[in-house]
Amino acid sequence: MFIEKVMPRFSETDALGHINNTVLPVWFEAARAPIFKFFTPDLNPHDWKLIIAKVEVSFVGELFYGDEVTIKTSVEQVGTSSFVLRQEAHQGDKCCAVGKTVLVRYDFAAKAKQALSDTEKASLQAHLTPES
């Protein structure tokens, strides 16, 4: 599991004083950087090897400005050419949002999915969620 910390900005709040729902996918993307490095260690976008097939976020609590948010990232499932990440946003001792993202190993030149290498699979499997 990877853990990243985020300090909410005032500009990320909505009219109700909550962190806006459009912010969580951005935070979750930023917290995926350690996973991205399994595929592109220098994060060079010209050598990128992943595309997103699906993103979903379930809001299970409120997030507020002024208190740090902890993003926990783990791997839920590893397939032949794709994998599923589970991400949770915690504020205090409470889980406030859960995200799931399906990423696909992709060959941009061929415009086709590509099988995960054994090394990539092993790197991902080292971070499987306990219930996976």
Written as one string, the DSSP assignment of 27-72 is HHHHHTHHHHHHH-TT--GGG--EEEEEEEEEE-S--BTTS-EEEE
Query: Given this model, what pLDDT does residue 79 score?
Result: 97
Mean pLDDT in consecutive groups of 10 residues from the start of the chain, 132 residues:
95 89 95 96 94 96 94 97 98 96 96 96 93 60
Query: Domains of the chain, with CATH numbers?
Result: 2-125 (3.10.129.10)
Whole-structure pTM value: 0.91
